[in-house]
Amino acid sequence: MTHTVAKPDDERAWQAVLARDRKFDGRFVTGVLSTGIYCRPSCSARHPRRENVRFFAEPAEAERAGLRACLRCRPNDVSRDEEAVTRALAMLDEVGDTAPGLAELAETVGYSPTHFQRVFKRAVGLSPAEYGRARRFERAGEALSGGASVTEAIHEAGFSAPSRFYESSAERLGMAPSAWRDGGGGVRIHWAVVATTLGRMLVAATDRGVCRLSFDEDREDLAARFPKAELIEGGEDFARLLEDVVAAVEQPEHSQRIPLDVQGTAFQQTVWRELQRIPAGETRTYAQIAAAVGKPGAVRAAGSANGANNVAVLIPCHRVIRSDGAIGGYAYGEAIKRELLRRENAQTKL
Ligand SMILES: [Zn+2]
């Protein structure tokens, strides 16, 4: 499966230009050699003569050919994308029985489905379908914690059939919804506290992945989080996972993909995914994270989502600092955050 959408052939592209067809925006730009300008296919400026036109797959390519962006249609302007994504997020956030599909979203914001899928995913970190699913889970979670039965919760959340809920919840949440409501009832969590160079580290995992990584915590802290789970100290498979986790913490340059079993709202999950994209040795500000998840106004919410992270280090919330350059808070103390950043810096400078 490929995520790039091929530029249409020249004849089709020219037809799109003549029709000012917005569905083709993002699939190519129109270079006008006589004026040295390039445009979106939908540009409202007068049409150039066909013989002066050359089509480019993207703005960068047109610029390499010496062309400048049109000031009217702003073909290299991302603000239109941002607007489209914001509108789509609002549509997906509305509670309803049927979430709008990709085709409907794209149509509403005036993009082609494939192009909009790319734009949305780049901005939000999830596809529209994934985001819609995450929102439904979020609503199911609200209903469940409000005391509704699983069936009621499923209907409230807008799932078409209970089997779909279980199907996708298994892949997404790790725990069945009844267990989730139940403080981990029926779930086995293996755990250990190990000594690291950062101090005592608690690692806990379900059979799906790490559900808690923290410092200076104990069995009691874990039991408070998952009061009904069966807590098992150690375990054979767990020992292997634990080794990988310790290696990832002690030597961030060797960090590998470790399975996680984390739960959060759609927004939190989006923020956490974004955090995982920050390479070791780099930092972002809360404002940058908010912007990266397509909600530039939600700096404080991004900060809270950062703080709600259950799996320290593996979801690197320590790589987020304050806009003024100050190190900012950390659930386990500034010293650990500083040390994590220090060793990551050291490693990237080698
Ligand atoms: Zn233009």
For residue 31, tell me if it sits in a domain: yes
For residue 335, tell me if it sits in a domain: yes
Residue 295 tokens read as 């909600």
Q: Are residues 83 and 166 in the same domain?
A: yes
CATH code of the domain covering residue 276: 1.10.10.10
Question: What is the full DSSP assignment across 30-77?
Answer: EEETTTTEEE-TT--SPPPPGGGEEEESSHHHHHHTT-EE-TTT-TT-
Confidence at residue 336, expressed as pLDDT on a 0 to 100 scale: 92
Distances, alpha carbon 16 to alpha carbons 73, 75, 138, 227, in Å = 15, 15, 40, 60
Confidence at residue 236, expressed as pLDDT on a 0 to 100 scale: 84
Q: Which is it for strands 320-321 and 199-206: parallel, antiparallel or unpaired?
A: unpaired
Q: Are residues 82 and 164 in the same domain?
A: yes
DSSP state of 211: E
For residue 3, tell me if it sits in a domain: no
- Produce one character per residue of 147-183: b if its CB has 16 or more CB atoms within 10 Å, e if not: ebebeebbbbbbbeeeeebbeebeeebbbbbebbbbe
Confidence at residue 71, expressed as pLDDT on a 0 to 100 scale: 85
Separation of CA 47 and ligand 1 centre (Å): 9
Q: Are residues 324 and 295 in the same domain?
A: yes
Confidence at residue 3, expressed as pLDDT on a 0 to 100 scale: 34
For residue 295, tell me if it sits in a domain: yes
**43 assigned to active site:** no
What do you get for the CA distance between the two ends of the chain, in Å?
37
Q: Are residues 160 and 86 in the same domain?
A: yes
CATH code of the domain covering residue 168: 1.10.10.60
Nearest to 189 by CA among 203, 178, 176: 203
Q: Are residues 165 and 227 in the same domain?
A: no
- Span 161-216, pLDDT tens digits: 555 554 454 444 444 444 555 677 778 999 999 998 888 999 999 887 888 999 99
- Span 272-305, pLDDT tens digits: 888 888 888 889 998 889 888 877 777 888 888 8
**70 assigned to active site:** no
Q: Are residues 94 and 27 in the same domain?
A: no
- Domains held by the chain: number: 4
CATH code of the domain covering residue 59: 3.40.10.10
Annotated catalytic residue, options 43, 73, 211, 317: 317
Q: End of a domain among 73, 104, 120?
A: 73
Residue 216 backbone class (left: φ over 0; alpha: ψ -120 to 50; beta: rest): left
Q: Are residues 65 and 84 in the same domain?
A: no
Confidence at residue 128, expressed as pLDDT on a 0 to 100 scale: 87
Confidence at residue 231, expressed as pLDDT on a 0 to 100 scale: 94
Q: Are residues 331 and 299 in the same domain?
A: yes
Confidence at residue 276, expressed as pLDDT on a 0 to 100 scale: 84
* Domain range enclosing 46: 10-73
- For residues 321 and 99, give the distance between their C-alpha atoms in angstroms, rounded to a whole number: 35
Separation of CA 38 and ligand 1 centre (Å): 7
Confidence at residue 135, expressed as pLDDT on a 0 to 100 scale: 75
For residue 54, tell me if it sits in a domain: yes
Confidence at residue 279, expressed as pLDDT on a 0 to 100 scale: 84
Distances, alpha carbon 39 to alpha carbons 8, 48, 115, in Å = 16, 10, 17
For residue 258, tell me if it sits in a domain: no
For residue 324, tell me if it sits in a domain: yes
Q: Please identify which residue in the block is written with the tokens 């985001």.
A: 131
Q: Are residues 151 and 106 in the same domain?
A: yes
**E strand residue ranges, the chain:** 29-32, 37-39, 53-56, 68-69, 188-196, 199-206, 209-215, 230-233, 284-285, 320-321
Separation of CA 80 and ligand 1 centre (Å): 14
For residue 333, tell me if it sits in a domain: yes
C-alpha angle with apex 277: 348 to 117, nearest 5 degrees? Answer: 145
- For residues 227 and 206, give the distance between their C-alpha atoms in angstroms, rounded to a whole number: 14
With a threshold of 0.75, does the pTM exceed it?
A: no
Q: Give SS3 for 7.
A: coil
For residue 258, report the phi and psi dihedrals to the nearest 5 degrees: -110, 130
Regions of the chain where pLDDT drops below 70: 1-6, 78-79, 95-98, 141-182, 253-256, 346-350
Confidence at residue 123, expressed as pLDDT on a 0 to 100 scale: 72
- For residues 29 and 38, give the distance between their C-alpha atoms in angstroms, rounded to a whole number: 6
Distances, alpha carbon 238 to alpha carbons 113, 207, 208, in Å = 43, 9, 11
Confidence at residue 37, expressed as pLDDT on a 0 to 100 scale: 95
Q: End of a domain among 49, 73, 97?
A: 73
Separation of CA 294 and ligand 1 centre (Å): 26
Separation of CA 305 and ligand 1 centre (Å): 40
- For residues 54 and 35, give the distance between their C-alpha atoms in angstroms, rounded to a whole number: 12
Separation of CA 70 and ligand 1 centre (Å): 4
